[in-house]
Structure 1
Amino acid sequence: MAGDPGLFGPRSVTWQMHGDPMMWIAGVRALYLQALHPRAVAGVMQNSAAFQRNTRGRRDAWGRLMRTAHFVGTITYGTTAAAERAGAGVRGLHRRLSAADTATGERFRIDDPELLLWVHCAEVASYLHVLRRSGFPLTDAQADAYLDEQRTGARLVGLDPDGVPGDRAAYAAYFAAVRPRLALTGGARQVDAFLRRPPTPAPLVPARALVWHRVAGLAYGALPSYAHELYGRPAPRPATVTRRLRATGRILRAIPPSVRWRLPPRHILRAVERLGPDTRPAPYKLRRAAAILDGGEGPRGEPYH
């Protein structure tokens, strides 16, 4: 393998996972979960037009989702220098921003470590939860390895990696500790309304009903039960959600990677061109590694959310 493998490299769990198409549904789940932290959602609402039900809100919300995807793709598949530049850009942006607590009026910084940690954990836990639940082959040991690897991403956004959960047990403890601070605020209601029915140009309304409704429904259904309770909306039974996630995963994974990876921003294609065809992300590589290392232990349910 020639070239710079970046911060994770082809031997990491992150490299194999982040090429999966279910990452998009996981990203929407992360938005739902992140919005339940009052200060996190206030920071978004007060520093952008995202999730407002107008043209600018639509543009800012989708732009936010695409920027997150670009950041994750860059730090996963880009060179070391590109990943470090992306992290510096995020830290610089957050350093300049602040917001007001909607309950107390107190000003707070967007780069407050507590907020950064919540956003990081909600995002990473969503990726792992949705991919495993939809049938992506990961053993428990590989799941823990993934969470440990993601401390690198936490460092890039300004967190001390030593203070970031690094396995499933630590994530479960973190979510149990933060849960009492979560609430359904006006900002969270706005995110929920937007994700359920985003403003859409008239020609795309049929596609919203056909495609987006399913994506948002799957993402919402995959949330933990306490999130459903806070949002005040029911969700299908867990077994139904799992069945739908697995069916969707089978459909999306049947699309040839050579087709999926040609969609912008093409991080994976550039990484494979840089490092060689043997570095293509593929779930079977994790399955094969598990069989060699630990006898092929299968995926289990997640105790954290």
Structure 2
Amino acid sequence: MNEAITSPSSSPLPSTPANRHELALNQSQSFNLSEIIFKVYNQAVCHSFDALEHIVVCIGFYAILCLIVYILIFRKWATLWNRNATNVRFPNTCKRVLFITAHPDDESMFFGPTIVSLTKRPDCHVYILCLSNGNHGKLGHQRQRELWDACKILQIPAENITLVNATLLPDDPTVTWKPQIIAKQILKQVHSLDIDTIITFDRDGVSHHANHCAIFYSSISIYVANLLHEGCRLFTLDSVNVCRKYSFLFDLLLSMTLSNTWCIVGLTDFCRIQKAMRAHHSQMVWFRRLYIIFSRYMIINTLREIQLSDAELEMQIDSLQKSN
């Protein structure tokens, strides 16, 4: 008869007092570890809620402070106690201002507060140079009419608008605009209109659109080359991160703290800029409808004046990026 052979390792350990004590000790340690993890988790949750509560309070306080400052800067007596308490801080010596945009709707979508602020000055003449007719969706003729309608709302005379319809400057983010072609159009306008101030996009183009960025690099290249007439100043519109971009007037304190030049409009002018943007009917898709409600560019513009040293540095950075 064959006998079953049992492996020694498979046989149960004898139940001795020592084994029972060791088993109880392991269970106790496991229970203590679980209890410690549970306590740590509860403390982390409590601290998270406390931190979240503090963050909400700080955000609420900041929002209320922005509203208070926004109300105060439109009071005539505000400048008596603080010279910075003004809704427009832009040089009064700028009399003939050229806005350089890439597409119809850029003037309303990005530069509205500055345009509205400057058109209110009786001795300031505002001009628009739009470098393409926005024919990306085969709507060039319609968008041209929309540009004139929007500028009329912004109180820019029709004779002050120049729309370039060049095959080498298409409305296409995948096409690289040649700097020499852009520079030629800019210089033509600057010299024929006796422009003393240029305002355009910065290196990030607000939305990182390739056509916007191309205008910036062309502008600083002619500035570095000293092709502008003496005394002509160059300003660029500040690009901000996406959180600030859609924070409406709650970007006010940051804007006034981080910039030396700004244009902030009241609610009446804000509605006028919205109306100008709505004149671009062909562009009013759902996300642009949200944009004109929440974007800080509809109510706040901050600008930076480009100095020669800044322009040279930007050109060097661009050269390094292209070489890499």
> Is the TM-score greater than 0.5?
no
Highest RCO, 1 vs 2 (Cα 8 Å, sep ≥ 6)? 1
Which one has the bigger helix percentage?
Answer: 1
Instruction: Report the TM-score, using the length of structure 1 for normalisation.
Output: 0.32
Rg comparison, structure with higher value: 2
Instruction: Report the TM-score, using the length of structure 2 for normalisation.
Output: 0.31
Which one has the bigger strand percentage?
Answer: 2
